[in-house]
Amino acid sequence: MQRLLLILGIILLALGLLWPWLQKSGLGRLPGDIIIRRENFTFYFPITTSLLVSLLLTLLFWLFRR
């Protein structure tokens, strides 16, 4: 459990440090991400980005288990 928490912490730290570059690469604005803008309201639902991040995390955890 300690190892898992340490790995998650390192991953979150890396993502936090790399966030400005990730936004410039288009992560969060992929085709399939839903953005609805009204006068005083913005609804953002990143379906494709969530699926991509989920896939990457699944592969990463699968590799760590081996």
- pTM value is 0.60
The tens place of each residue's pLDDT in the chain, 66 residues long, gives: 888 899 889 988 998 898 788 778 777 788 888 999 999 999 989 899 889 989 988 998 898 887
**Rg, C-alpha atoms of the chain:** 15
How many residues would you count in the chain? 66
Question: Domains in the chain: how many in total?
Answer: 1
Residue 18 belongs to domain spanning: 2-65
Provide the H-helix boundaries in 1-66: 2-24, 47-65
The pLDDT score that the predictor gives to residue 51 is 92
Residue 8 has a pLDDT of 86
Span between the terminal Cα atoms of the chain, in Å? 16
| Residue 50 near residue 33 (C-beta atoms within 8 A) | no
